A and B are shown apart, each in its own frame.
Chain A
Amino acid sequence: MGLEIMDDVRRDYIYNLVKRGKREDGRDFRDYREIKVEKDIIKRAEGSARVKIGNTEVLVGVKLEPGEPFPDSPDEGVIITNAELVPLASPEFEPGPPNEDSVQLARVVDRGIRGSEAIDLSKLCIEEGEKVWIVFIDIHVLDNDGNLVDAAALGAIAALLNIHIPAERYGLSSSEGEDTNTLPIRDKPVAVTMVDVGGEILVDPNYNEEKAAVSGLTVITNTDGTISGMQKYGREGLAEDKISEMVEIGIEKADELRRKFL
């Protein structure tokens, strides 16, 4: 009972701020919180990045392993994306099998990378039909203060850039020169998440804003402004023109983030 009262109080508080043109932390509606991206921090992973957006903190590790290709794409590598909302990141996260939120998080991030074809999967074939490189993208949420998607997506692409394929570890030294040892990345998809509070669009919602919002949208875009993934959330609907506006904002903000951090 107590928690529900607080939910209402928080919702009203955020809503009233927005109606007065303000946000809890003083940001403009279109601004991100302070972002920090640190690469290569986990030695054991082939690629890694630690992203902080405000107080939200996500660690993404990328590991490569040889494995079997999918039957319908025998000469292509495989991407497997997973997200863990570990209990230490929030009083709301419980130990146990992946729940719908962590599944959604992983699939949305995966969608953006896959849709942009950022990883050239055809270059990850070791032996057609038998062996290809599997790219494991593992998202580990360490602190949930809202907008896990953008942090995870940024971490994923940051971790993927400049990865050394561990051919030697598996006795698969490539014989075609140095360049083939770097994971081939062709684009830099960036996710931008926005929520609707009281009819206003807020970019990069923090935890309270996420709870106060009734609907939201993530737009993942590429260097050339094309869209490679979208996902709507929330218990209420969005009007067509609001969606259109959000897409435009998404393209714009993605460019900013790409320039600054990738």
Chain B
Amino acid sequence: MKKEGIELIKDGKRLDGRDFDELRPIKIEVGVLKRADGSCYFELGDNKVIAAVYGPREMHPRHAQDAKMAVLKYRYNMAPFSVDERKRPGPDRRSVEISKVSREALEPVIIKEFYPKTEIDVYVEILQSDAGTRTAGINAASVALADAGIPMKDLVSSVAVGKIDGEVVLDLNAVEDNYGEADMPIAMVARRNTITALQMDGRMTKEEFDKGLKLAMNACRQIYELQRTALIERYSEM
């Protein structure tokens, strides 16, 4: 992660021309898959991800059922062609961890008591990766869950902040992630200001952390508006 050698900030702007607090362009399409109960295609800069939700449906194996509530499952997976160096198909340790953290990011808003003994499956496929895939995945999954009619208290929004050339910046791309000093993805329920996921990789002072967290929370609120708009507009085109 921390390689040296390139200047990531020139004349107060980042290599791709963005300001320190600027998100990459986002595109959201709701209900893109026919077979899934809910789905969402999400682009964040050069990241292209698709999330699908199946359920609630009967849970197997039976002994793993929860008699009082639905069980949420989340699978983050990268397509082999999504990265420069082909990724071998199948779950690796990174995907396992991301799946767990992402699931925990969404659990606080899902009203699981409604469907005891069932499972709700969230599948997130990363089709093209440029750093920030797990945040794009959580954003897409949130929309897909709503699209599937899953009872929820709210949506979850997600973004990463990081530190490059000593500056705290928003939404790192792959170059910035590889050559930067820290990377901190978060997930949040925008309306309630509660953080549902938080990870930090790298090195930051407490002040940088506080600054980064505020920057990230602000960006999550912006992303929330885009998620909401996409959902509302889907049924307003008539």
Residues on A lying within 8 angstroms of B by beta carbon are 1, 4, 72-73, 98, 100-101, 103-104, 106-107, 111, 114-117, 217, 222, 225-240, 243-244, 247-248, 251
3 nearest A-B residue pairs (beta carbon) = A237-B194, A230-B200, A232-B198
For residue A73, which residues in chain B have a CB less than 8 angstroms away from its CB? 3
Contacts of B200 in A (CB 8 A): 111, 115, 227, 229-231
Q: Is the CB of B100 within 8 A of A1?
A: no
Interface residues of B, dominant DSSP: mixed
Contact B108 A236 (CB under 8 A): yes
Determine whether the beta carbon of A235 is less than 8 Å from that of B198.
Answer: no
Q: Are A226 and B195 in contact (CB under 8 A)?
A: no
Q: Which of B100, B184, B189 has the most chain A CB within a 10 Å cutoff?
A: B100
Q: Given A4-B68, A232-B195, A226 and B108 touching (CB < 8 A)?
A: no
25 contacts between A and B (CB under 8 A): A4-B67, A72-B3, A98-B96, A104-B96, A107-B93, A107-B94, A111-B199, A217-B198, A225-B206, A226-B203, A226-B205, A227-B205, A230-B184, A231-B198, A231-B200, A232-B104, A236-B107, A237-B195, A238-B194, A239-B194, A240-B193, A240-B214, A247-B206, A247-B209, A248-B206
Q: How far is the CA of A58 from the CA of B181 in the complex (A)?
A: 30
Nearest-neighbour CB distance to chain B for A237, whole angstroms, equals 3
Is B193's CB under 8 angstroms from A239's CB? yes
Give every chain B residue within 8 A of A236 (Cβ-Cβ): 107-108, 194, 196
- How many residues of chain B have a CB within 8 Å of chain A? 39
**CB of B2 closer than 8 Å to a CB of A:** yes
Contact status B96-A103, CB under 8 Å: yes
A235 and B107 in contact (CB under 8 A), knowing A72-B3, A230-B184, A240-B213?
yes
Q: Is the CB of A1 within 8 A of B93?
A: no
Across the interface, which residues of A come within 8 angstroms of B100, CB to CB?
Answer: 100-101, 103-104
Q: Are B206 and A251 in contact (CB under 8 A)?
A: yes
Residues of A within 8 A of B198 (CB): 217, 230-232, 238, 243
Q: Which residues of A contact B197 (CB under 8 A)?
A: 232
Beyond A236-B108, A236-B194: 20 further Cβ-contacts under 8 Å? A72-B3, A100-B99, A103-B93, A103-B100, A111-B199, A111-B200, A114-B201, A115-B202, A226-B203, A227-B200, A227-B205, A227-B206, A230-B209, A232-B195, A232-B197, A235-B104, A235-B108, A237-B192, A237-B195, A238-B194
Question: A-contacting residues of B (Cβ < 8 Å)?
Answer: 1-3, 67-68, 93-94, 96-97, 99-101, 104, 107-108, 182, 184, 188-189, 192-206, 209-210, 213-214, 217
Rounded to whole angstroms, the CA-CA distance of A114 and B201 in the bound complex is 8
* A107 and B203 contact, CB distance less than 8 A: no
User: Contacts A116-B203, A240-B217 hold; do A104 and B97 have CB atoms under 8 A apart?
Assistant: yes
Report the bound CA distance from A4 to B67 in whole Å. 9
**A222, B206: Cβ atoms under 8 Å?**
no
A181 nearest CB across to chain B (Å): 26
Closest-by-CB residue of A relative to B94 is A107
Set of chain A residues within 8 Å of B205, measured between Cβ atoms:
225-227
How far is A98 from B97 in the complex, measured between Cα atoms in Å? 11
- Residues of chain B contacted by A101 (CB below 8 angstroms): 100
CB–CB B203/A238 < 8 A: no
Q: Considering the chains assembled together, what is the distance between the CA atoms of A107 and B96 in angstroms?
A: 10
* CA distance in complex: A107, B200 (Å): 11
B1: chain A residues at CB < 8 Å are: 114
Is A232 in contact with B217, judged by CB distance below 8 angstroms?
Answer: no
Given known contacts A103-B96, A106-B93, A230 and B199 CB-to-CB distance under 8 angstroms = yes
Instruction: Output the least CB separation between B218 and chain A (Å).
Output: 11
The interface residues of chain B lying within 8 Å CB-to-CB of A230 are: 184, 198-200, 209
**Docked pose: A107 CA to B93 CA in angstroms:** 8
Q: How far is the CB of B25 from chain A (nearest CB, A)?
A: 27
CA distance A226 to B209 in the complex (A): 9
Q: With A and B bound together, what is the CA distance between A232 and B184 in angstroms?
A: 11
Q: A4-B67, A106-B93 are in contact. Are A231 and B199 (CB under 8 A)?
A: yes
**Cβ of A1 and Cβ of B67 under 8 Å apart?**
yes
CB contacts (< 8 Å) of B188 on chain A: these are 237
Inside 8 A of B104's CB, which chain A residues have their CB? 232-235
- With the chains together, A230 CA to B209 CA distance in Å? 10
- Residues of A within 8 Å of B97, CB to CB, are 100, 103-104, 107
B2 touches A237 (CB 8 A): no
Shortest distance in angstroms between A214's beta carbon and chain B's nearest beta carbon?
Answer: 9
Closest to A1 in B: B67
